[in-house]
């Protein structure tokens, strides 16, 4: 069990590339932290610095208040699980899991007890005599986790551990990982480029871009209150729709020829106070906050006419594509409303759930 803190951690590779800038976080004992961001944003570099596989250029890394910047990886009491989990092909599941303890010259009774405990937790007991090639992808991934948990480390680091699995198995392993974390109560740091994995697994998510932390928040906070355009765009599928827009004194946000009434919202007052009247902003709307339906009697001025471009059934939901001006927009609605390409329809925005961004700084504007 361990807390961890990263204080102004930077990484400059010998070739001059700065991969991480001033990374700060205090991680609580037992937290499940996920680093997420597009490829090359510095997630693995940060993880590898924590593991001790990469030197820290500057800043302080602590576990339980002890500075470990210069501590050898083997002394850090950290276990790491990689994407290509590289099991020993000639060894049984049992011996794969026992390996690190054997190296440490643990007592064979202790080793046996640890392996049986881990295999029980991971549902691997029936497979202990098999070799990796006689296992499914999910089982192999569990053995890789087993190798890490037998050591009973203070902290687990996981670098895209599920990306070699197919979508269904990934979903199942996500659930198992979450349960494993719950059971072990151990601090975990997990790296992924997949925002769904981040949302489903994390207690807190760290969103990174170009070596900089963009936001650290719970999944709920991140979805509801992204700090900036990048986070807003990165979190959520399908992504948020964005429009160049203008705030009008009379209480409207104007997108092309549309005047969307926001006069009664809290944010309208805030936009006024912050000097955004008459200014260009970026408006964000999540697909689930755009309603679209066949034209109906009693439609108000805030229900705007359009033509359906595409209707994609997802099961209980459907994605509806249409255009505002030249811009393709996606709405996510209940699939009970069936629409077809070419159909006339009306759409409206849930004005209590619109997002506003400063056009220059791309920072979110909240009330």
By CB under 6 A, name the binding residues for ligand ADP.
13, 15, 17, 19, 37, 39-45
End-to-end CA distance of the chain: 39
**Residue 7 β-bridge partners:** 60
Nearer Cβ to ligand ADP (15/300): 15
User: Which residue lies nearer to ligand ADP by CB, 38 or 126?
Assistant: 38
In the bound state with ligand ADP, the residue whose beta carbon lies nearer, of 97 and 222, is 222
Q: Closest distance between ligand ADP and the C-beta of residue 189, in Å? A: 13
CA quadruple 250, 253, 254, 258: dihedral sign:
negative
Q: How far apart are CA 251 and CA 257, in angstroms?
A: 15
Q: How far apart are CB 198 and ligand ADP at their closest, in Å?
A: 13
Q: Which of 295, 328, 296 is nearest to 312 (CA)?
A: 328
Residue pair 306/348 in contact (Cβ under 8 Å)? The answer is no
Q: What are phi and psi of 111, to 5 degrees?
A: -60, -50
Give the pair of three-digit tokens for residue 355: 């997002």
Residue among 124 and 235 whose Cβ is closer to ligand ADP = 235
CB of 347 to ligand ADP, least distance (A): 37
Smallest separation (angstroms) from ligand ADP to the CB of 218: 21
Closest CA to 55 of 68, 64, 66: 68
For the CB of residue 155, give the shortest distance to ligand ADP in the complex, in Å.
18
| CB-nearer residue toward ligand ADP: 37 or 284 | 37
Read off the tokens for 337.
Answer: 């409303």
């Amino acid at each position: 069990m361990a807390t961890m803190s990263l204080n102004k951690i930077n990484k400059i590779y010998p070739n001059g590339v700065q991969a991480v800038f001033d990374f700060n976080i205090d991680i609580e004992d037992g937290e499940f932290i996920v680093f997420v961001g597009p490829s090359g944003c510095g997630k693995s570099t940060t993880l590898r610095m924590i593991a001790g596989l990469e030197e820290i250029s500057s800043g302080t890394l602590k576990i339980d208040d002890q500075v470990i910047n210069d501590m050898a990886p083997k002394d850090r009491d950290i276990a790491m699980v990689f994407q290509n989990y590289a099991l020993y092909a000639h060894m049984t599941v049992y011996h794969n899991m026992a390996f690190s303890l054997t190296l440490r010259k643990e007592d064979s009774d202790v080793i046996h007890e640890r392996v049986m405990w881990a295999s029980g937790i991971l549902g691997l007991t029936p497979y202990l005599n098999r070799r990796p090639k006689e296992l499914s992808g999910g089982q192999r991934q569990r053995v890789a986790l087993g190798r890490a948990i037998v050591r009973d480390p203070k902290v687990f680091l996981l670098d895209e551990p599920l990306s070699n699995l197919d979508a269904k198995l990934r979903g199942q392993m996500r659930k198992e990982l979450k349960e494993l974390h719950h059971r072990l109560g151990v601090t975990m740091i997990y790296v992924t480029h997949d925002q769904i994995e981040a949302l489903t697994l994390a207690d807190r998510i760290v969103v990174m871009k170009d070596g900089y932390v963009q936001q650290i928040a719970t999944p709920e906070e991140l979805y509801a209150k992204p700090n900036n355009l990048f986070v807003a765009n990165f979190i959520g599928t399908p992504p948020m729709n964005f429009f160049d827009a203008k705030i009008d004194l009379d209480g409207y946000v104007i997108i092309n020829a549309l005047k969307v009434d926001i006069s009664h919202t809290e944010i309208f007052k805030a936009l006024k106070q912050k000097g955004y009247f008459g200014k260009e902003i970026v408006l964000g709307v999540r697909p689930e906050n755009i309603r679209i339906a066949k034209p109906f009697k009693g439609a108000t001025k805030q229900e705007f006419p359009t033509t359906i471009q595409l209707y994609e059934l997802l099961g209980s939901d459907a994605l509806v594509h249409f255009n505002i001006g030249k811009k393709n927009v996606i709405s996510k609605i209940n699939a009970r409303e069936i629409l077809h390409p070419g159909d006339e329809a009306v759409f409206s925005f849930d004005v209590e759930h619109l997002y506003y961004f400063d056009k220059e700084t791309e920072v979110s504007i909240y009330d």
